[in-house]
């Protein structure tokens, strides 16, 4: 069984586990983080130019908001106008 297969099987088991929705989400994030932190997966991702990060929904929102702000400023500085 490959790393991706193990991740899918583990994720499916976690999502069917007992507990509150918040508990299941926390366990799922933990599983995803473990897969992304595995040396094999890290090497595979780096091999295609990616460095994955797992995050909470709030962290993702903040990262995306910062990216939008940065890209907006970059586009304005370059003189690009929205169509």
pLDDT digits (tens, 9 = 90+) for 25-63: 888 888 888 888 889 998 999 999 988 776 778 988 999
Asked whether residue 45 falls in the same domain as residue 81, the answer is: no
The pLDDT assigned to 70 comes to 96
Structure tokens at 17: 């586990």
User: Could you give the number of structural domains in the chain?
Assistant: 2
Comparison of pLDDT for 70 and 25, the residue scoring more: 70
Q: How far is the C-alpha of 24 from the C-alpha of 50, rounded, in Å?
A: 27
Name which of 4-13, 51-60, 66-75 the model is least confident about. Answer: 4-13
Are 33 and 72 part of one and the same domain? no
Indicate whether 64 and 29 sit together in one domain: no
Q: Does 31 lie in the same domain as 11?
A: yes
39-47 vs 21-37: helix crossing angle, rounded to 10:
70
What mean pLDDT is predicted for residues 2-7? Answer: 62
Whether 41 and 30 map to the same domain: the answer is: yes
Q: For residues 57 and 47, state if they share a domain.
A: no
Domain that holds residue 71: 53-83
- Same domain for 30 and 12, yes or no, is yes
CA 42/CA 37 separation, integer angstroms: 6
Write phi, then psi, for 60 (nearest 5 degrees): -65, -45
């Amino acid at each position: 069984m490959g790393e991706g297969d193990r991740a899918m099987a583990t994720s499916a088991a976690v999502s069917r586990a007992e507990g509150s929705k918040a508990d299941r989400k926390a366990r799922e994030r933990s599983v995803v983080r473990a897969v992304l932190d595995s040396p094999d997966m890290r090497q595979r991702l780096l091999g295609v130019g990616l460095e994955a990060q797992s995050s909470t929904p709030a962290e993702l929102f903040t990262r995306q908001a910062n990216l939008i702000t940065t890209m907006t400023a970059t586009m304005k500085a370059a003189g690009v106008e929205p169509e």
